[in-house]
Amino acid sequence: MPADTIRITPIPLGFVNAFLIRGKQAVLIDTGNPGSADRILHALGEQGLAPHDLALILLTHGHGDHVGSSPVLREKTGAKVAIHIRDADALRTGRGPNLTGTNALGRVFAVLLPRPIRGFEPFEPDILIEGELSLQPYGIAGKVVPTPGHTAGSISVVLENGAVFAGDTIMGGMGRKGKPRFPLFAEDAARAKESIAYLLGQAPESVYTGHGGPFSPAELRAVFP
């Protein structure tokens, strides 16, 4: 694989997605719910990677369906775990950020879904993200950018090849591609809209989302003009 080539491997984990990005090194975006580690390690193996080949685990925000398997993967791979400083307490306490519904369905789920992350062993994150973070030290031509709104510490990944990984800043379907939409939950809806506008302003060629997707620019413009 040429040094400047980026390979993207989606890892479906039921209704949520993780992503493996490979450049000169390998980076994992999100880890699914607790119990997803073996499926992720199997996906690495299918790409010819051993667990220790993983250089970094990036968590787009602190909800349990995105950070749930991070303690196990950290132990099994030796990779450092990075999360925004505003969501870091989810890893320290095993309790995800608030769920604030943005519509009637979101408000129902906010009541039904537990904040404690079941089966999660709390730990101190290795890297606390505050501003932009270059991924060049991890062999990836791209950067991490804060995109708050869904949670205070939501982040996205913008690659130089035009791929964007939006976490739950933009959502799709649950277990299927679906259509792009505003997230069901947002601690700050106004900031979430600003973050979506920022990501679309990066002229992405494709946007990968934590649920459903990926989406083309045309699909995104139809919903977020």
- Distances, alpha carbon 65 to alpha carbons 19, 162, 191, in Å: 14, 26, 22
Average model confidence (pLDDT) across the chain: 95
Residue 11 lies in a domain: yes
pLDDT > 70 in the chain, percent? 98
Token pair 């950018």 is at which residue?
145
Copy the structure tokens of residue 164: 């964007």
Q: Structure pTM?
A: 0.96
Residue 44 belongs to domain spanning: 7-223
At position 8, the amino acid (one-letter code) is: I
DSSP label of 95? B
- Averaged over 153-157, what is the pLDDT? 98
H helices within 24-162, ranges in order?
37-46, 64-67, 70-77, 89-93, 104-112
CA quadruple 95, 100, 104, 106: dihedral sign: negative
What is the H or E stretch that residue 12 is in?
Answer: strand 7-13
Radius of gyration of the chain measured on its C-alpha atoms: 16
The 10s digit of each residue's pLDDT in 82-119 is 999 999 999 999 999 989 999 998 898 888 787 899 99
Copy the structure tokens of residue 149: 């709104």
Rounded Cα–Cα distance for residues 72 and 77 (Å): 9
Residue 2 lies in a domain: no
Using a 10 angstrom Cβ sphere, with 0-12 exposed, 13-18 middle and 19 or more buried, the burial of residue 137 is exposed
Q: Are 66 and 16 in contact (CB under 8 A)?
A: yes
Residue 26 lies in a domain: yes
Residue 113 vs residue 141, higher pLDDT: 141
Residue 1 lies in a domain: no
Residue 179 lies in a domain: yes
Tell me phi and psi for residue 11, to 5 degrees.
Answer: -125, 95
CATH of the domain at 73: 3.60.15.10
CA quadruple 103, 15, 40, 214: dihedral sign: negative
How many domains does the chain divide into? 1
Rounded Cα–Cα distance for residues 4 and 96 (Å): 36
